[in-house]
Amino acid sequence: MKVKKWLILFIAAVIVAAGAYWFFSSKNVSANISDKDLITAQRVDFPLIVSATGTLEASRSVSITPPQVRRQRRFKLMRMVEEGTAVTEGDFLMEFDTSDIARSLRDETANFQKVQEDRQNKRSTADINLKNLKLSIEQAKSDLQKLEVKMASQTDLVSGIEVEQTKIQLEAAKKNVEFLEKKFKYQTDSSQYSLQISRSNESHYRGRMEDLMDAMDSYTVRAPVSGVVIYKRDWNNEAKEIGSNIFGMEAVMEIPDLSSIRARLLVDELDSGKIKVGQDANVTVDSVQGKTFAGKVVGVGTILKQASFDRPQKVCDAYVLLEDSDMSQLRPGMNLKAQIEVGQYSKVVVIPLSSIQERAGRSYVQVWKPAARNFEWREIHLRTNDGLTAVVESGLEANEKIRVRPESL
């Protein structure tokens, strides 16, 4: 009987102690909760944001390539200004190796001297030949005159055979004069044509020499406009270096028009269909701390491509025109991050992600119960989030208060 009585007393004491613990715990919780520990779920318009990375570029720029030189296809880069250098029109940009063109100039100079000597030899030989031929013509004409005089002075006493011989000699002398005169004319014309060819060859090699000397000067490239030097990069994002071999139409650097700076974004394949021309965007540039640039989407690429050789991710290009009045710190090639507003959820309940406790793939918040002066755990369903805040689809109503940082579930 005594054992039963003590057991009943023990159970009653436990119940009283538990009740007292709950009462004082509740009092303690209520006493420790302040307005800064609570946040009110609000119904607002929630923007849908697509995030992307990219670089700055100029929509207008002057590409700097090797000089356009005939018969030259490759150029070896010897020196160039550093990227980011501010230049004015006429300033030095880069220089190419002139050893090949100097060798060509020596060859063309040798060719020019050769054809010049050849022309002089031809002229000298032609003058001598024509002079000798002219003497031969004069001698032939003198012989012809003598035969004509002999023919006219012959009398009846001369035999018929002798007269015939004189006639034959006279005809032969006339033909010889005609032949020599024709030969003189032919050699005169031939020597003129030969000299014309030599003069043409001289002009050709002289022109080549002048072109090569001009080309040698053009191997030092100077700025056609004022601006800032930006190196052109290949598909591997690598710029040309000293010693690189460069093809004739390959751009080495560019001088951009800084007033045409825009953001070139790489948009993930999954988000590419959400981007439209005219959407608002906010751009932050890594090297310009503490400033956000507003802009609008002005173009969207239609072709998906690999982000880079080491990133198999598929992306498409999008272009944002910056609308900020002060872009003096911006330069092409700077890395950036952008947020594009592609739509919004109207009048939805929004809470911070930090107020949500995740467990087994489900989302919970601690809802404040003012009547009971305590919290209750409640499961909620989310529609989306932007990395900082989340849109609640169900489970929580506007104006309900929740704990800013919930305890462990």
pTM of the entire structure? 0.54
* In a domain? residue 175: yes
Q: What percent of the chain has pLDDT over 90?
A: 28
Task: Collect all residues with Cβ–Cβ distance below 8 Å to 69 and sequence separation of at least 6.
Answer: 101, 211, 215, 218, 248
Nearest C-alpha neighbor of 322 from the set 267, 265, 263, 266: 263
Res. 317: pLDDT tops 50: yes
Per residue in 270-285, pLDDT tens? 888 889 999 999 999 9
Integer angstrom CA distances of residue 387 from 50, 350, 353? 11, 12, 7
Please indicate, yes or no, if residue 107 is contained in any of the structural domains: yes
Mode of pairing for the β-strands spanning 42-58 and 335-352: antiparallel
The answer for residues whose C-beta is within 8 angstroms of residue 100's C-beta and 6 or more apart is 72
- How many helices (DSSP H) and strands (DSSP E) are in the chain? 3, 22
The pLDDT tens digits of the residues spanning 373-388 come to 888 999 999 988 877 8
Domain-located, residue 228: no
The whole-angstrom separation of Cα 143 and Cα 16 is 166
In a domain? residue 204: yes
* Total tally of structural domains belonging to the chain: 1
What is the rounded CA–CA span in Å between residue 398 and residue 111?
93
CATH number at residue 114: 1.20.120
Q: What is the mean pLDDT of residues 338-353?
A: 91
Domain containing 142 equals 99-218
Q: How far is CA 381 from CA 222, 242, 350, in A?
A: 64, 60, 12
